[in-house]
Amino acid sequence: MKAPKVMEHIKPAHIECTKEDIAPIVIMPGDPLRAKYIAEKFLTDAKLINRARNMFGYTGYYNGKRVTVMGHGMGMPSVSIYAFELFYFFGVEKIIRIGTCGGLDESINVPDVILATNSYTEANFAYTYNGDPTHWAKPSAHLTEKIRETAKRNDVKLVEGNVICTQQFDFYADLEHMLHRIQDKDILVGEMETFALFHIADSFDKEAAALLTCVDSIYKNTFLSIEDREKSLDTMIQLALDSLE
């Protein structure tokens, strides 16, 4: 199924810039301040191109490659707004989500970097979006393979597997009950955005992938300090940027 039809002559309601301001490739953290951090630390000639609703977006260059870094907020409703507008109105071809996640399998350690190979949700997001009853969404095979190859070349260890995309922060829900329901799904980690991003990208025949840093786990009494979190997230950020082509 394809993307829903949009009313003629409608303009983007959440991103305020020109189509030329946004690069064909977008790196998307959830936190808009992390987008600012990435632009200032990793990009050259970075320009603020969106500040509507304080969802900061910057376009600049990484190793000579033009790229946009923009926040997407928390949860499927928020990421769906920004992903849809970027694909539909601004002609974006690829989005790599870079975010955090919580470990839901004993094999996952803090701060493992996860490459999402499938995203499962119990929500009816796809059915509401375009009538598709699926609860599974896949990232782009080509973009995922590019990240995998780059990680190998850069000696970055990746853990690959299924993620669950929840409608609320999993630690603030009946986690035990949820884990019982999904015990046959081979879920490694939980987060809140990948399903919507993958499903929307697929509806436009565009590419999307996700890298996630595990910052906590239900099986381990380990939480990243601010300093350790920054260092671990930098590994993921660098990998995403190095995977651009």
Find the radius of gyration of the CA atoms of the chain.
17
CA angle at residue 119 from 115 to 123, to 5 degrees?
150
Helices assigned H by DSSP within the chain: 32-42, 76-88, 125-130, 141-153, 175-181, 194-203, 226-242
Can you read off the two tokens belonging to residue 145?
Answer: 């393979």
Can you read off the two tokens belonging to residue 134?
Answer: 């699926």
Active site residues: 216
- 3-state SS assignment for residue 230: helix
Rounded Cα–Cα distance for residues 134 and 28 (Å): 24
